[in-house]
A = this chain, B = another copy of it.
Amino acid sequence: MTGILAGLRIVEGSAFIAAPLGGMTLAQLGADVIRFDDIKGGLDSDRWPITKDGRSIYWAGLNKGKRSIAVDLRNPRGHELLTALITAPGEGAGIFTTNMPARGWLSYEELAKKRADLIALNIVGARDGSAHVDYTVNAITGFPMVTGPVGHDGPVNAVAPPWDLATAYAGALAIVAAERHRRMTGQGQRIVLPLQDMALAATSALGYIGEAAVNNVDRPRFGNEIFGTFGRDFKTKDGRFVMICIFSDRHVDALAEAGGFAKAFKKIEASKGVDLKTDAGRWTARAELCAVIEPWVAAQTAAEVSAALKKAGALWAPYQSFRELAADKANVLDNPMFTVLDQPGIGRYPVAATPFQFGAFERQRPRVAPTLGQHTDEILSGILGLSDREIGKLHDDRVVAGPQ
């Protein structure tokens, strides 16, 4: 295992997306990430999507390259084992990440009694301790009320969970920053990262709170249009959709070239009194731009439109379904980030490695996710130094479990 974070060991007590994806991000950069779960599996062990046999494709996706230990989380002996694992000695060890309630034996105070320089990341729902998930946090941000078709009554939820994703990578950042700090000063610490505050900070960063407060307006729903510049989906002759955007001068020229729109664009500039090379100009003239682009796209197949846009270097992309993506040569099958893996119990399919390309390290191929308890014995023996007899007794007493 070589990667930029080789030598770090992180113990993870997690479920769902933010905490597991944060841990996996570190594992795919070379850290030894050990996920513990209850011997019956975690809250997300059966989470959908599942195979026809009921195996969780979801779980496999978010736990790649980790080791798994299964422990009875209601048993005080289980707590002792995990406390020992979380606080085991070693320069790169003593790092814990969790989105479980950090109370009792899992609290920072209790754990730090065994290792004073412990680093613990507690991902929580809300600041005040109340439950929150991506979908509830998202409702509060305001985004669902401006997402979806113009005229739609009510909210439109995100499917790709923006706040879980943000919290996952931000959590990984927090751990590496804290470990760097410990390396420099010897000091450990607890880090609290509320999913809710991640969402609110990003909503603030993106200008939505400022716009509402300063301009005292509620931004309306603009459907698929990109607010404040130009971008929208267009339907082709063969019923496909393409996204076409303009973010810079270069994209104006490229789009004009792709569709032969140079004269039409000039006309729009004259009639609307705008400069299409500015965000404001494009936004003001977006209806006129669409009126030019729409019939051009509608008169051609997706293949024809794509060829023209690509050739001209426009900013565009075809929409596709997940099944089309899974079979997409350029983006998946021939993408060096992907490897077709045989995930035990699930099957062979393309799986992504880390998206980072660090110049000083070769990107490692993705590794499969463990089955529940797959590494129980090797962790008890290799890290906690337990004998075969002691490990046998823990199994007999149902304090731990191996692979089912």
Contacts and interface: CB of A to CB of B under 8 A. Distances in A.
Nearest to A112: B359
Contact of A210 (B17, B57, B147, B355): B57
A202 interface: yes
A142 B323 CA distance: 8
Interface string A326-357: 11100110011110000100110111111111
Contacts of A149: 148-149, 152, 156
Contact of A322 (B5, B16, B219): B219
Interface in A347-388: 347, 349-360
Nearest to A30: B177
Interface stretch (A73-81, A159-167, A259-267, A390-398): A159-167
Nearest to A24: B205
A207 to B, nearest CB: 4
B140 A318 contact: yes
Dominant secondary structure of chain A at its interface with chain B: mixed
Given A169-B173, A176-B180, A241-B155, A209 B43 contact: no
Contacts of A343: 210
A296 interface: no
A196 B331 contact: yes
Interface in A115-166: 127, 130-133, 135-149, 152, 154-162, 165-166
Oligomer: number of copies: 2
Interface in A192-211: 192-194, 196-198, 200-211
Interface stretch (A82-90, A245-253, A287-295): A245-253
Contact of A217 (B187, B218, B315, B323): B323
A183 interface: yes
A212 interface: yes
A58 B283 CA distance: 15
A133 B280 contact: no
Contacts of A326: 209, 212-213
A395 B8 CA distance: 49
B325 A203 contact: yes
Contacts of A190: 359
A346 B210 contact: yes
B233 A155 contact: yes
A96 B146 CA distance: 35
Contacts of A402: none
A48 interface: yes
Contacts of A403: none
5 contacts: A46-B280, A49-B207, A49-B219, A132-B315, A217-B323
In the A-B complex, list the 4 residue pairs whose CB atoms are closest, starting with the nearest.
Answer: A48-B228, A136-B317, A204-B352, A213-B349
Given A49-B208, A191-B357, A197-B337, 6 more contacts: A61-B206, A127-B335, A136-B243, A154-B241, A192-B359, A211-B322
